[in-house]
Amino acid sequence: LKAGGIAGVCVDLILFPLDTVKTRLQSPQGFRKAGGFRGIYAGVPSTAIGSFPNAAAFFITYENVKSVLPHGSSSYLSPATHMVAASLGEVVACLIRVPSEVVKQRAQVSPSSSTLRILSHTLYHEGIQGLYRGYKSTVLREV
């Protein structure tokens, strides 16, 4: 739990500026209007808050599913066991990852808005479904 959470936080915080640049390059308003290189850490609170439970949920699910699946003496089942366990781990982790990604990406292209304001705006105008926008495609990509 701790190792997975800490690893997730470290990776997310180190790579965050690259993700911001990528998100702004993909923005329909264009890189410069989306913030350019200004506020390169906009949206980091949602990543920091979601990163630990996201990584922990993945590893807990992965290890538990792996221990339940058959893993007899035949080595040909081993890759399938790991693939199924990792896939189910991603399905569970995305329940945490997708809402934090939605808030993060919206903050990255609107660096003047706070994370809390973006979260409340999304919930007010779109409901909980707004936080899970792109859940299915994210799960498909991760699996």
Residue with the bigger pLDDT between 8 and 83: it is 83
Question: Three-state DSSP class for 64?
Answer: helix
Q: What's the pLDDT tens digit per position in 17-46? A: 999 999 999 999 999 999 999 989 888 888
Dihedral sign for Cα 108, 114, 115, 118, please. Answer: negative
User: Is the pLDDT assigned to residue 72 strictly greater than 70?
Assistant: no
Residue 8: its pLDDT value, please?
77
Question: Three-state DSSP class for 41?
Answer: coil
Residue 118 — very low, low, confident or very high, per pLDDT cuts 50/70/90?
very high
Question: Rounded to an integer, what distance in angstroms lies between the CA atom of residue 86 and that of residue 8?
Answer: 15
| Residue 103: half-sphere exposure toward Cβ, Cα within 13 Å | 25
User: Any idea what DSSP says for residue 69?
Assistant: S
Question: Rounded to an integer, what distance in angstroms lies between the CA atom of residue 16 and that of residue 140?
Answer: 22
Cβ proximity of 72 and 52 under 8 Å: no
Q: What's the pLDDT tens digit per position in 92-109? A: 999 999 999 999 999 999
Cβ proximity of 35 and 107 under 8 Å: no
pTM of the model: 0.80
Q: Give the residue-averaged pLDDT of 65-74.
A: 79
Interior angle at CA 122, CA 120 and CA 127, nearest 5: 100
In angstroms, what CA-CA distances link 61 with 1, 67, 89, 91, 125?
Answer: 10, 10, 5, 9, 32
